[in-house]
Amino acid sequence: MADDCIFCKINIGEIPSEKLYQDDDCFVIRDIAPKAPTHLLIIPKQHMTYLTGMTPEFQPVIGAMYKAASLMAVAEGVADAGYRLIVNQRDDAGQEVPHLHMHLLAGRRLGPMG
């Protein structure tokens, strides 16, 4: 838990948000400003901002995030059509929330990246 972290506050229920999925390591919510018909955020419960400097103890959490993403793609009915997973890190990527998270985008042709 980090003070003034919006995703930590959602994790403990201080800020309301429907959790579509959760396990011991991560939870999933809908993005408040969706960029595609399906736009989910996969968020680790433990506060961490950057992948750089990740400790070995955190590595299983990364696996849990991918597992959650794959389960949610099935649950949202987009697994067969396709989806995109994005992790923004720091300024050049436009990271807005300094708590690690993965975007799942789907539901339309996402086009080439860039």
Is residue 33 at the binding interface for ligand AMP, with CB under 6 A as the rule? Answer: yes
Question: For residues 37 and 105, is the Cβ–Cβ distance under 8 A?
Answer: no
Interatomic CA distance for residues 74 and 93, integer angstroms: 27
With contacts defined by CB under 6 A, name the span among 52-60, 66-74, 76-84, 88-96 that binds ligand AMP: 88-96
- Among 99, 88, 94, 86, smallest CA distance to 27 is for 99
Question: For residues 108 and 36, is the Cβ–Cβ distance under 8 A?
Answer: yes
Is residue 6 at the binding interface for ligand AMP, with CB under 6 A as the rule? Answer: yes
Interatomic CA distance for residues 8 and 34, integer angstroms: 20
For the bound state, the minimum distance from the C-beta of residue 112 to ligand AMP, rounded and expressed in Å, comes to: 19
For the bound state, the minimum distance from the C-beta of residue 94 to ligand AMP, rounded and expressed in Å, comes to: 5
The single residue among 96, 109, 111, 114 that binds ligand AMP, judged by CB under 6 A, is: 96
**Residues assigned a catalytic role:** 101
Can you give the binding site for ligand AMP, defined by CB under 6 A?
A: 6, 17, 29, 31-33, 41, 88, 94-97
